[in-house]
């Protein structure tokens, strides 16, 4: 499935293991690693492992993996819509450093929200953190409302910033 955006890119729904999607997630991991370096202080290995489990993505939970691509097919952005128990959750939003400032994150989020609504969601939740102020600003501008930290993040990332979007 492909949809051209008003910003000259296309948004494609791809498989979770699509190599372009994986490369974009790797770029996100590198960015988040740099942003969160030292954020959790000197914590025990057991807590780090519990946080890794909380952040793990399981392909059977994924409803949609969306990527944006430029006119030449270069991947520029990524977002996942997944089921987290009874909730619908948005995960792994990233726009490549060379494509930022063009509205791609907003377009990807809008497409993910549209997909969730079409599939029957009443609301969508997401989790982010203090070291991601541009993400917080985007979610607030889209109409997301802050909510308490929810599981599986409450135990290992109690300083998370969580949001919900109700349809």
Query: Which candidate, 54, 76, 53, 78, places its Cα nearest to that of 66?
Result: 78
Reply yes or no on domain 2-166 having CATH 3.40.630.30: yes
Q: For position 156, what pLDDT does the model report?
A: 84
Structure-token match 């501008």, residue found = 141
Q: For position 56, what pLDDT does the model report?
A: 86
Q: For position 107, what pLDDT does the model report?
A: 97
Q: For position 94, what pLDDT does the model report?
A: 95
Counting runs of H as helices and runs of E as strands, what totals does the chain give?
A: 4, 8
Domain ranges in the chain?
Answer: 2-166
User: What sign results for the dihedral spanned by CA atoms 116, 54, 130, 94?
Assistant: negative
Strands 87-95 and 123-128 turn out to be: parallel
Tens-of-pLDDT digits for all 167 residues of the chain?
A: 555 554 679 999 999 999 999 999 999 888 887 777 665 556 677 877 887 788 788 999 999 999 999 999 999 999 999 999 999 999 999 999 999 999 999 999 999 999 999 999 999 999 999 889 999 999 999 999 999 999 999 988 888 999 999 99
Q: For position 155, what pLDDT does the model report?
A: 84
Query: Largest Cα–Cα distance in the chain?
Result: 47
The pTM (predicted TM-score) of the whole model is 0.87
Q: Name the percent of the chain in helix, strand, coil, to the closest 5.
A: 35, 30, 35
């Amino acid at each position: 499935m492909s949809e051209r955006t008003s910003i000259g890119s296309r948004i494609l729904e791809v498989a979770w293991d699509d190599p372009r999607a994986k490369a974009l997630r790797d770029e996100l991991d590198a960015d988040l690693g740099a942003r969160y370096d030292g954020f959790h202080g000197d914590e025990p290995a057991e807590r780090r492992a519990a946080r890794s489990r909380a952040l793990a993505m399981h392909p059977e939970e994924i409803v949609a993996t969306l990527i944006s691509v430029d006119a030449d097919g270069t991947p520029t952005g990524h977002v996942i819509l997944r089921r987290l128990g009874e909730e619908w959750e948005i995960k792994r939003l990233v726009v490549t450093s060379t494509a930022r400032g063009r509205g791609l994150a907003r377009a990807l989020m809008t497409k993910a929200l549209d997909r969730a609504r079409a599939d029957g969601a009443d609301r969508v939740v997401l989790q982010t953190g203090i070291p991601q102020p541009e993400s917080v600003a985007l979610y607030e501008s889209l109409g997301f409302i802050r909510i308490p930290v929810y599981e599986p993040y409450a135990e290992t990332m109690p300083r998370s910033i969580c949001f919900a979007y109700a349809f």
